Amino acid sequence: MKQVRRLSPHMVRVSVTGEGLRRMTSPCPDAYVKLFFPLPGQDRPRLPELHDDSWYRTYLAMPDEIRPPMRTYTVRAHRGTEMDIDFVLHGDGGPASRWAHGARPGDTIAILGTGGLHIPPEDSEWQLLIGDESALPAIGAILERLSPGAVAHAFIEVDGPAEEQRFSTLGNVRTYWVHRGDAPHGESVLNAVRLARFPDGTPYAWISGEAGMVKYARRHLVNDRGFAKNAVTFTGYWRLGATQDQMV
Ligand SMILES: Cc1cc2nc3c(=O)[nH]c(=O)nc-3n(C[C@H](O)[C@H](O)[C@H](O)COP(=O)(O)OP(=O)(O)OC[C@H]3O[C@@H](n4cnc5c(N)ncnc54)[C@H](O)[C@@H]3O)c2cc1C
């Protein structure tokens, strides 16, 4: 790993380097990877054989004492042999957040490339992006890759003003920053979306973040706003009270 930069009080950008990254392709702007972290006392994670399709079974079969924690993260940016990954420091003691909190140049993690989900149908005329801070890296990457004039409205829930970010985009973008304050996760952004006036035209929606928020946001768009089911991409990025292992 090459560089660690604090973007805001609860977000850290880790820039990793490695020859293997050159071969990775990012199919969609919200491309994600699987990250493997070292266990306490290790300087690098011990890996299963990753080239085989059955790698996940091999991974699960590894003894607990050596199986590296694996978590999913968005490729915020990719430049040849270098990749930026933005970690939310959520303070709930998960291995990924904990690793990012203490990360230093020279630390080693392993990366496995997988996929992406942001694929607007060809007939969509504008995009609605809804997420919390875990979706901020993907929303940033999506906005930065919009074609000139493409209309997008983004509703993003963060702790407070210090967590807001700026994106450069050629799109015609409206970003609504929703501050959580003391409200439960997801409640404020759901309220903002419920009250929002949307542009005319055929929409495409992309929703990611805490799983409960994602479920209710999708339900609202489909049931109350008439969004076509196949024009809504939704992914629970994490779940309150559950580790990512428990979500599988
Ligand atoms: C496709 C995809 C892309 C993702 N991209 C990103 C990304 O770019 N950046 C990013 O930060 N996350 C991203 N996530 C979410 C991230 O994988 C989860 O937040 C993951 O649980 C973090 O692992 P952990 O080891 O820190 O915590 P875990 O061990 O998984 O969980 C420990 C505890 O922390 C809580 N927790 C987990 N995440 C959060 C959070 N964000 N806020 C508050 N509490 C939390 C859990 O409910 C649990 O109680 C993505 C997820 C997916 C599926």
CATH number at residue 225: 3.40.50.80
135/222 same-domain check: yes
Q: Is residue 24 part of a domain?
A: yes
133/104 same-domain check: no
Question: Using CA positions, which residue lies closest to atom 43 of ligand 1?
Answer: 90
What pLDDT, on a 0 to 100 scale, did the predictor assign at position 114? 75
Q: How far is the CA of 244 from the centre of ligand 1 (A)?
A: 7
10/53 same-domain check: yes
- Choose the final residue of a domain: 115, 136, 163: 115
132/41 same-domain check: no
pTM comes to 0.97
- In the block, residue with structure tokens 């303070």: 91
138/105 same-domain check: no
pLDDT (tens place) for every residue of the chain, 248 residues total: 789 999 999 999 999 999 999 999 877 999 999 999 999 889 999 988 777 778 889 999 999 999 999 999 999 999 999 999 999 999 877 999 999 999 999 999 999 987 999 999 999 999 999 999 999 999 999 999 999 999 999 999 999 999 999 999 999 999 999 999 999 999 999 999 999 999 999 999 999 999 999 999 999 999 999 999 999 999 999 999 999 988 86
Q: Is residue 15 part of a domain?
A: yes
Q: Is residue 248 part of a domain?
A: no
Atom of ligand 1 nearest to the CA of 137: 8
Q: How far is the CA of 199 from the centre of ligand 1 (A)?
A: 32
7/38 same-domain check: yes
Q: Is residue 208 part of a domain?
A: yes
Tokens of 156: 């993003």
Q: How far is the CA of 87 from the centre of ligand 1 (A)?
A: 8
- In the block, residue with structure tokens 């050159």: 22
- Choose the final residue of a domain: 115, 150, 177: 115
- The SS3 assignment for 2 reads coil
Range of the domain at 193: 126-238
The phi and psi torsions of 21 (rounded to 5 degrees) equal: -65, -25
69/154 same-domain check: no
Would you state the torsion angle of the CA atoms of residues 160, 166, 171, 172, taken in this order, to the nearest 10 degrees?
Answer: 50
CATH number at residue 83: 2.40.30.10
Q: Is residue 246 part of a domain?
A: no
Q: Is residue 245 part of a domain?
A: no
Q: How far is the CA of 148 from the centre of ligand 1 (A)?
A: 32
150/230 same-domain check: yes
Question: Using CA positions, which residue lies closest to atom 27 of ligand 1?
Answer: 94
- In the block, residue with structure tokens 């004039």: 149
Q: Is residue 88 part of a domain?
A: yes
7/111 same-domain check: yes
Number of domains comprising the chain: 2
Q: Is residue 120 part of a domain?
A: no
Atom of ligand 1 nearest to the CA of 100: 26
93/171 same-domain check: no
Please give all residues whose beta carbon lies within 6 A of any atom in ligand 1, as ranges.
32, 71-74, 86-88, 90, 92, 94-97, 134, 137, 235, 237-244
- Choose the final residue of a domain: 57, 91, 115: 115
HSE-CB of 165 using CA atoms within 13 angstroms: 29
What pLDDT, on a 0 to 100 scale, did the predictor assign at position 2? 83
Question: Using CA positions, which residue lies closest to atom 37 of ligand 1?
Answer: 238
Enter the DSSP assignment of 80: T
108/161 same-domain check: no
Handedness of CA 220, 223, 226, 230 (dihedral sign): positive
169/97 same-domain check: no
Distance CA 59, CA 109 (A): 16
